Homo-oligomer: A and B are copies of this chain.
Amino acid sequence: MAKSTNTEDKILESASQVFSEKGFNGARMREIADTAGINKGLLHYYFKTKDALFEAVFKVAFKQLISRIQHILEMDLPLYEKIDLIVDTYLGMIMKNPSLPNFVISELNKDADRFIKRNISKKETQIFAKFIALVDQEADEGKIKRIDARQLLMNIISMIVFPVLGRPIMQVIFGTDNDEFKSLLLERKQHIKEFVKDALKP
A4 close to chain B: CB less than 8 A: no
A17 close to chain B: CB less than 8 A: no
A1 close to chain B: CB less than 8 A: no
Given contacts A175-B124, A175-B125, A199-B195, contact A159 B155 (CB under 8 A): yes
- Chain A positions within 8 Å of B, measured between CB atoms, are 21-26, 65-66, 69-70, 99, 101-102, 104-106, 108-110, 112-113, 115-116, 119-122, 124-128, 145, 147-148, 150-151, 153-155, 157-159, 161-163, 165-178, 184, 187-188, 191-192, 195-196, 198-201
Residues of the B chain whose Cβ atoms lie less than 8 Å from the Cβ of A122: 175
Do the beta carbons of B23 and A148 come within 8 Å of each other? no
Do the beta carbons of A106 and B108 come within 8 Å of each other? no
Do the beta carbons of A154 and B163 come within 8 Å of each other? yes
Given contacts A158-B158, A159-B155, A168-B109, contact A173 B66 (CB under 8 A): yes
Do the beta carbons of A165 and B168 come within 8 Å of each other? no
